Structure 1
Amino acid sequence: MLCSTCRVRPPVTGDGRCLLCAGPAGAATAPMPPAPAFYAPQQYLRSPEGLAKAVVVLLTLIAVADLLAVAAELNVRRVIAAGIANDFATYDEAEATLADNMSGSAGVLQTLLNLATAVVFIIWFRRVRLNAEVFDRSVQSMRPGWAVGAWFVPIANLVLPRRIAGGVWTASAQTSTDGGWRSVPATVMNLWWGAWVCSLLLSQFSYRLYLKAEQPQEIVDTTGLLVAADAFDIVAAVLAILFVRKLTRMQGERAALGVFPLSTSGPAERAGWGRSH
């Protein structure tokens, strides 16, 4: 059963409303849902703004590396296609080797940046998930530890992180000063997640085909797929930047209103916003 007003959180009042929809008066009389004895939720907020800036910088670098990779892959495609066109009569092997080396170097750069970005992004993701625990624990369907672990579960990592992000998004939606709740369209989050999943699947598919390619025409065709995968990754990186900035800004606005429903008053500083430890 869900709240009769927002249809998001479990009801805690006699008239079927959740803590947030009931407002301060309802929060004063309705108890918080009990937490398991082995689990003590975080009771303070920490700003994700510094981590968000680092993630944005790294995602921008990924987009630049993808552009370099696209240029290198198109060069490889051009060299081999030119050889096919004249039956390799004027094929320049040194040029082909240089083109292949440039493509390989771009691939190494992409791998290093992806690893660095993944680490910082997951740290940021865990931070905003812990803040969401303070904002509204009732809309979190999974424990905070899954904000890290969900990314490493094969196949399920295509679904679970989005589920966690949805709970964080809902809890971070700005409320009015009287505790009223409002929803924020999750379009940018849905676009980011869809683009990331498509980019991941397309990249793995195209790379496997590229490794299996032996004939010149096969290499030309699979290189075209690599170009498409890198172009899609650029789109995913841009959408990820928009998602990170939007959610971080939402949490800042939410923190400025206090930590309702855990308390109904007090500025963000009282909730530990910006705490470094």
Structure 2
Amino acid sequence: MLRNPNGLSYAVVVLLAGNIAFDVLLAAIELRFLLTDAATAFFDPAVFGAFDLNAAYDMAFTLYVATGIVFIVWFHRLRKNAEVWAGDLQSRKPGWAIGGWFVPIANLWIPRGIAVDVWRASRWQPYAADGARELVLLNAWWTFWVADAIVDRVASQLYKRAETADAHITAASWSLAGYLLDIIAAVLAVLFVRRLTSMQHTKATGMIPATQ
């Protein structure tokens, strides 16, 4: 049975927008740190004022987790809808639309494969060959998401080991790169969510198909 994903898509977009806002704020903090004397600037009130960095990081992390949960619920719903239209095109069971995100290392490609299957089932002609640039948006989103995940991991490890000003500068540089990648990935995710949701809505309601 088809289920309407529109409400969930709006929630995902709002949460992604919140992530973008926090990324911009935290990226600005990292940049401010890099442009000041690293030996004295780290968590220095004279640099950051009364702004509570720990609270900002906690809020950003909470929002990130909430976004992930809602996104996965939305993703699973679209996968279930895809089963109705072209179940034979789906290479993995619907449960993988949730579980695939939590498999170490394999989560770098399993969700993308599911997304491609769902995309094909959601277009007007599921069994047609892929267009030359049809999957550009999906692939761009996934590429930046994976790159961000890797860079964030490196930055986290560098911060844990940082004991000198130079080490903090290196960690902050990686962290800043991670925030910039995350902003791009989030923007692309918004476009991907709206596009795929629109495709399913168009198909479910029998409207004249938009250009695929």
TM-score, length-scaled by structure 1: 0.68
After TM superposition, list the pairs within 5 Å mapping 1:102-117 onto structure 2.
102-117=52-67
Call closer, same or farther: CA 1:190–1:239 in 2, change over 3 Å: same
**Is 1:156 aligned with 2:106?**
yes
Which residue does the alignment assign to 2:83?
133
Cα deviation digits, residues 224-254 of structure 1 (max 9, x gap) = 2111110110000000001100000010111
Contact 1:62 1:113 (C-alpha < 8 Å) held by counterparts = yes
Deviation at 1:211, TM superposition (A): 1.8
After TM superposition, list the pairs within 5 Å mapping 1:171-210 onto structure 2.
171-175=121-125, 181=128, 183=130, 185-210=134-159
- Give distance in 2, aligned partners of 1:159 and 1:212: 29
**Is 1:241 aligned with 2:193?**
no
Which residue does the alignment assign to 1:257?
206
Which residue does the alignment assign to 2:210?
none
Unaligned segments of structure 2, at least 5 residues? 208-212
Bigger fraction of residues in helix? 2
Moved more, 228-237 or 74-83: 74-83
Unaligned segments of structure 1, at least 5 residues? 1-43, 85-90, 259-277
Which of these residues, 92, 95, 116, is aligned with residue 46 of structure 2? 95
Bigger-Rg structure (1/2): 1
- Give distance in 2, aligned partners of 1:244 and 1:214: 41
Deviation at 1:93, TM superposition (A): 5.3
Deviation at 1:103, TM superposition (A): 3.6
- Give distance in 1, aligned partners of 2:91 and 2:52: 46
Which residue does the alignment assign to 2:115?
165
Contact 2:30 2:172 (C-alpha < 8 Å) held by counterparts = yes
Which residue does the alignment assign to 1:273?
none
Greater RCO, 1 or 2 (C-alpha within 8 Å, sep 6+) = 2
Contact 2:43 2:53 (C-alpha < 8 Å) held by counterparts = no
**Count of matched residue pairs:** 205
Deviation at 1:107, TM superposition (A): 1.9
Question: What's the C-alpha RMSD, in Å, of the aligned pairs?
Answer: 2.5
- Give distance in 2, aligned partners of 1:186 and 1:199: 20
- Give distance in 2, aligned partners of 1:180 and 1:129: 17
SS at match of 1:189: helix
**Is 1:49 aligned with 2:10?**
no
TM-score, length-scaled by structure 2: 0.88
Contact 2:144 2:181 (C-alpha < 8 Å) held by counterparts = yes
Deviation at 1:255, TM superposition (A): 1.2
- Give distance in 2, aligned partners of 1:203 and 1:212: 14
Q: Identical aligned pairs, as a percentage?
A: 40
- Give distance in 1, aligned partners of 2:123 and 2:173: 42
